[in-house]
Structures are given as C-alpha cells and as structure tokens.
Structure 1
Amino acid sequence: MTETDDYPAAAQRFLSELAQNNDRDWFTARKSRFQRDVAAPSDALLDDLATRFGPEIGRTLSRKSFRMHRDLRFSKDKTPYVTHYRALLRDTSDPEPDPARPAFYFSLEPGGIQLGGGVLAFAKPALERYRHAIGNSDSPLLQLATALEASGWRLGEPDLKRVPAPYPADHPDARFLRHKGLHAFRPLSGAAPDGSGLFAACAACYQELVPFLRAIASLT
C-alpha cells in the first residue's frame, strides 16, 4: 500500500457527507469519488494485510468487501446506503469459503477505523468443541479472550440468554458458554492524523489478535 495524505481522511470525509446526503442521486453522482477515496485505498490496504497475516494464522486469506447498499426489505429505515466501509480478511483455502472460520474484521467509519477478529458463529462441530473446552476450563482461548479484554479489546455480546445444557447456570465461565461465536473489536490507534503509518498501526493491532485467531482456528 502507498500511504498518502488523502487516506483515510478523504474516505472519512466522503462517509460523513454520505451520512448527510443518503440518497441514490447523491451517491451515483459521486461514485467515482467513492471508488477513488474509499474503495480503492481501503482494498489496497486490506490486500496487503491479507498477505501479511495469512501465514500468521496458518490460513490463506483474501479480502471480502461488503456492499454499500443496505438491505431494505425488512427495515423501517429506507436510507439506501450504509455509512461505513466494511470488509473481512477471510480464509479461502477451500473452494467454498466458510463464514464460520476465523477472520479479521475492518470497518472504516466517519469517526475512525474499527478493527477486529474472530468468528461470528461457530459451525456446529466447532461450537461443541468450544463449549467442551470452556465448560472444562481448559481452553487457551478463554485465557486469550480475557487477556484481550484486559488490554482494551471489546468482546461481542453473548448470543444466548441462558447457559446451554448440560452446563450449570452458575458455571464460573457462564458468559463464555453463552456465546455461539467469539470475536473482539477495538478502535485503531497509532496512525498519524495525516494517515502516515496506517499499515503499521493496523498490522500492530492485528498482531495482537493472532494468538486468539490461532486458538479459534484450532477448533474449526
């Protein structure tokens, strides 16, 4: 990635303006600007990070960037676009990439960049292995997750209201047993305001997640 004075500041300006002008005519008239200031530099950054971190977790990673269009079918909010640029660095070692495998997360927003990693929802066999390890308090993943929290990462909220059977409701690690996936997020820090050092800052942040993602990968 070539770091410039324009990224990510120009991308964040575009997203801020989109939040104030969230309609198709406005976006269509500025689509070339979106590609130049948001999509192209974000994708270049993520492709470089995929190359850097695939070997770290023993997977072949590639970028999946999400569409800006919102799904309006069941939403009362009819604004057509999201106001962030989100992507995954996901495992593509199989012909059909599995969304239940570990991934790094990236979200460029008007106010900054959020980075993360983990699994949103374990596949059933991996979920059973995860619960067995947590339930028997012998999981390195549990130690890694709590260490991330202690260093400022935020874990996703549990998916279940109750601890699943056969584990007792008062299990010491009940909140982890209530997860059906496990992921952590934090705001990016360390990059200069002009965008210099952005790759290094993202790489340092993702490096903190590597042991966590390796432990998840061992379950999947």
Structure 2
Amino acid sequence: MALNDWHFPKETVTFLRALRKNNDRKWFNANKDRYERFVKEPAEIFAELMIVELEQLTGQPHKPKIFRIYRDVRFSKDKTPYNSHIHMTFYPIGGDGNIGWFFGLNTDQVTLGGGTFRFEKDELEAYRKRVAGSDGEQLAEILEGLFAKGGRVNDPPLKRVPKPYEQDHPRAELLKRKGLAVWKDIGKPSVATSGNLVEKCDEAFAEIKPVVDWLS
C-alpha cells in the first residue's frame, strides 16, 4: 500500500465502538490483542506518516504524541477507565512554544486542529495586544475564511473582555480567549478507514495553517 493510500483498518472503529459500550477492565483485558493490533499499532504508523506530511507543509520537523487509552479518573466524575477515541498532537521539534497540530478519531467523526489550548501568561498578554491592534484584523479575516470552509472554534471561557480593552471592541470574542485552537471535522469515522485519509488530513491542515502561522 502506498503511503498516501494508507488508512486505519475498519476494525479500528469497530473496536472503539465496542469499547464505548463495554468500557471496563474485564472486557478490555479480554480484547487487548485487538487493541494492540487495530488501535495502538495503526495509530503509531499514522503518527509517523503525518510528521512527514507536516514537515512538507511547514518546513519544520515535528514530534508526535499519542495520548494513552487509559484515562486519568482521579479528579473526574466519569470513572470509565478507557478512552474510546484516538487523540494525538504534533509539535515542532526544537520549538519553544506550545503551538501545534491535533488529530482526533472517535466513534462519531474525524477531526483535525491547530493552535494552542492555553497560552502562557506572557503569551496571552502578547496575543491580546496583537488582537487589539492591526494584526487582529488579519486574524479575524483568516478565521472568517476558515469558518466559511466548515472550521470552528470552541466558545471563549471569559464572559467579559479583560481590562484594559473595551467591552465593545470589534474583536471582543477573540480577546476573551485564553487559547486559540481551531478545528475542522473532515467526516464520519469511515474517512479514517478510506484511501483518501491522508489527502483529507493534508487539505484540512493546509486550511488551518494560516491560523498556526499567525500564532507562531
């Protein structure tokens, strides 16, 4: 199979759906070989494939991180022990920031993303100054174009615009943010098991890249 034709096996989604319905240690331990074969190993292959694609897109080498299937339930009301999804991030090697790229496959859809979940204090101050100035106009235009193509952002965590910025600032919603991650849903889980997965990921990341570039 050519790299550009690579995709997750259909059993990946089948396993994730079964895990969602049987999210307990007994079931998982009885099916751990399926997890290794159809989730863990394909995810590792995909991560290595995507760092090649991202280097071609950005000119920078990236390091992948695949999130563990085991949930940290210490501070969660949800005590189910396993994640019924595949999440991974990609960050530039040698970079000093937290701006990166994201991939998610769950039982409902495949999602790509880029940006940062949360700015550090000094980064947040710099971000807000840029948003309030002329650079903010450029970001607003970039986001408007992305939204027109089906992109989205989560709601900002703050209810009010932080001081010293005016509450009626034309980019008030951007000033309320503590991070800026943009998302693009590229289809149902079947996209992950089809031969054009890599192509669709490349297209989505290319659409997200102007936001990542602005943040970088």
Taking structure 2 as the reference length, what is the TM-score of the superposition?
0.89
Deviation at 1:129, TM superposition (A): 1.7
Q: Tell me, which stretches of 5 or more residues in structure 2 are unaligned?
A: none
Residue 213 of structure 2 is matched in structure 1 by: 214
Contact (CA 8 Å) 1:118, 1:183: kept in 2 or not? yes
Identity between Structure 1 and Structure 2 (%):
34
Greater helix share, structure number: 2
Residue 14 of structure 1 is matched in structure 2 by: 15
Residue 165 of structure 1 is matched in structure 2 by: 163
Residue 25 of structure 2 is matched in structure 1 by: 24
RMSD of aligned C-alpha atoms? 2.2
Q: Show CA shifts across 1:184-213 (max 9, x none).
A: 112114986851111111111111111211
CA distance in 2, matches of 1:193, 1:82: 17
For 1:46-85, list aligned pairs within 5 A.
Answer: 46-85=47-86
CA distance in 2, matches of 1:106, 1:186: 10
Q: Secondary structure at the match of 2:135?
A: coil
- What count of residue pairs does the alignment treat as equivalent? 212
CA distance in 2, matches of 1:120, 1:194: 28
Q: Secondary structure at the match of 2:111?
A: strand
Q: Show CA shifts across 1:84-105 (max 9, x none).
A: 11110112315xxx6x521111
CA distance in 2, matches of 1:58, 1:161: 38
Taking structure 1 as the reference length, what is the TM-score of the superposition?
0.87
Contact (CA 8 Å) 1:57, 1:214: kept in 2 or not? no
Deviation at 1:72, TM superposition (A): 1.3
**1:110 matched to 2:110:** no
Q: Tell me, which stretches of 5 or more residues in structure 1 are unaligned?
A: none
- Cα pair distance change 1:49/1:37, threshold 3 Å: same
Contact (CA 8 Å) 1:57, 1:213: kept in 2 or not? no
- Cα pair distance change 1:110/1:207, threshold 3 Å: same
